[in-house]
Amino acid sequence: MNKPIPVTDWVSDFDHTDPRWTENPYPIWDELRAECPVVHTNRFLGVYMPTTYEAVKAIAYDTEHFSSRRIIVRNSRPPITQTAPPITSDPPEHKPAKQLLLPPFTPDAMKKLEPRVREICNELIDQFINDPSIDAAARYTKHIPVRAIAHMLGIPEQDGDLFIKWIHEILELGITDEDTLMRAVEEMSHYFMGHIQARKSKPTDDLISTLMNARGPDGQPLSDMHVLGSLRLLLIAGIDTTWSAIGASLWHLAKTPADRERLIAEPSLMPTAIEEFLRAYAPVTMAREVIKETTISGCPIKPENMVLLSFPAANRDPAMFPDADKVLIDRKENRHAAFGLGIHRCVGSNLARMEMTVAIEEWLKRIPDFRLDPAGKVTWSEGTVRGPRQLPLLLGAAR
């Protein structure tokens, strides 16, 4: 594997896997946005990146010129063999595939799951509540979404570590290492096929059985491959995304005592605080493939290129958000795009919000005092999903 050449000119040669981008992308995005609403790089076989809210929105809404058949920018573009409907679907296939997944993820459905998520958070906190210092990514944020989604799917919560490994291989290593990517996808497919087969003889009351019993637009049950694709999507999309969002929220509260104290004193601010963390630290950058020539915000867009659809950069656009670079936990007007815009709005957005809210509430109840450990280093994941992968904290009041 060749090491990428370090970036010297972000505007014409950006690289979203460059360590400086991973560490702190916000000043880079400000520089790009000041230069042009859509920038381009020849890396990764050619990629555009919209830098303004307006340009991100225009592309998200435009399914005629931009396809979701590829949603991750990688070094190579192997033939598409494994899909994950509806996230990899375009109209007209998209809507029926999405409608199958929506009912299990409504706010009401999430209310039923909420007590289990509170238990999961407290089970985790029980294990480190007496420790003076912990890595909150490894001990807390990482485990909440994976256990919640396993609970919904009806698979063992203990298999979580396996899922975390596959996701790391697919979303991070897989950007540059095709063999690892393919092997992880194979292993994951094999795992889920086993669970699908088991339910054929013994149906269960969980999301896997719900999908297996669902009917497609033709009135026929979904094929095993469709069920498998949707399970793959739920796992890939539902885990390190929310893990990142919870981690970034805790990171912010660890380094901003004023916000932490205010949130404890005024718990009614929790909903606006969560939306603001979603805006300011939106973890997910999707991608599109250009399929027809067009123009976005005055910039020519040509086929054969991918698009890095940076919802996080849109959320930092000062033309859309006053004080875009400030985190205001009582921000009243907040049309952030953390869950996307248009038909591909994240199917798990209600789940993610519930998990974030519960994870922060339970943490603050039991650990009101905490701060970054100056002896440790916070590290961030690169590429498609950005969040703290190492979050060393000191627990308890400063002594």
Could you tell me the smallest distance in angstroms from the CB atom of residue 175 to another protein? 28
Q: How far out from the chain centre does Cα 292 lie? A: 27
Distance CA 68, CA 287 (A): 7
Distance CA 74, CA 179 (A): 13
Candidate list 67, 133, 294, 349; residue touching another protein; CB under 8 A: 349
Closest CA to 83 of 71, 66, 96, 95: 71
Sign of CA dihedral 375, 121, 336, 297: positive
- When asked if residue 282 is in the footprint of another protein (CB under 8 A), the reply is no
Both tokens of residue 136?
């909150």
Look-up of token digits 């969980």: 206
- When asked if residue 108 is in the footprint of another protein (CB under 8 A), the reply is yes
Segment lying near another protein (by CB under 8 A), choices 111-119, 125-133, 171-179, 335-343: 335-343
- Residues with Cβ < 8 Å from 190, sequence gap 6 or more? none
- When asked if residue 334 is in the footprint of another protein (CB under 8 A), the reply is yes
Candidate list 336, 367, 384, 387; residue touching another protein; CB under 8 A: 336
Distance CA 330, CA 269 (A): 6
Candidate list 103, 216, 300, 368; residue touching another protein; CB under 8 A: 103
Rg (CA), the chain: 21
Q: How far out from the chain centre does Cα 234 lie? A: 11
- When asked if residue 354 is in the footprint of another protein (CB under 8 A), the reply is no
Candidate list 333, 397, 398, 399; residue touching another protein; CB under 8 A: 333
Closest CA to 300 of 16, 12, 40: 40
- When asked if residue 99 is in the footprint of another protein (CB under 8 A), the reply is yes
CB closer to another protein, 300 vs 342: 342
Sign of CA dihedral 311, 317, 323, 326: positive
Both tokens of residue 192?
């889920």
- When asked if residue 345 is in the footprint of another protein (CB under 8 A), the reply is yes
Dihedral of CA atoms 168, 311, 343, 360 in degrees, nearest 10, equals: 70
- When asked if residue 112 is in the footprint of another protein (CB under 8 A), the reply is no
CB closer to another protein, 146 vs 282: 282
- When asked if residue 321 is in the footprint of another protein (CB under 8 A), the reply is no
Question: Side chain identity at 361, as an amino acid letter?
Answer: E
Segment lying near another protein (by CB under 8 A), choices 21-29, 241-249, 256-264, 341-349: 341-349
Candidate list 6, 107, 217, 257; residue touching another protein; CB under 8 A: 107
- When asked if residue 105 is in the footprint of another protein (CB under 8 A), the reply is yes
Contact 358, 364 (CB under 8 A): no
- When asked if residue 63 is in the footprint of another protein (CB under 8 A), the reply is no
Could you tell me the smallest distance in angstroms from the CB atom of residue 365 to another protein? 21
Candidate list 170, 171, 263, 341; residue touching another protein; CB under 8 A: 341
CB closer to another protein, 125 vs 286: 286
CB closer to another protein, 100 vs 296: 100
- When asked if residue 54 is in the footprint of another protein (CB under 8 A), the reply is no
Look-up of token digits 């596959």: 166
By the criterion CB under 8 A, which residues form the site for another protein? 99, 102-103, 105-108, 271, 275, 332-337, 339, 341-343, 345, 349-350
